[in-house]
Amino acid sequence: MDVKSHLYVPYVFKTFQGFNVKDIKEFHKTQHMQIILEKT
């Protein structure tokens, strides 16, 4: 049985004034996140 880890993204990373979050990518090896925004 495969166990998939759930991506926990704090609420602060989901809201940017004037932008919608289009995509969030998490890189475990390098311990960084990439947040793709789209201007509203």
Q: What is the pLDDT of residue 8?
A: 65
30: containing domain:
1-40
CA–CA separation, 24 and 22 (whole Å)? 7
Q: Against a cut of 0.95, is the pTM above it? A: no
Q: What is the largest distance, in Å, between two alpha-carbon atoms of the chain? A: 42
Structural domains counted in the chain: 1
CA–CA separation, 35 and 28 (whole Å)? 15
Fill in the amino acid letter for 17.
Q
CA–CA separation, 8 and 24 (whole Å)? 11
CA–CA separation, 26 and 16 (whole Å)? 18
pLDDT tens profile 3-34: 555 666 666 666 788 888 888 888 888 888 88
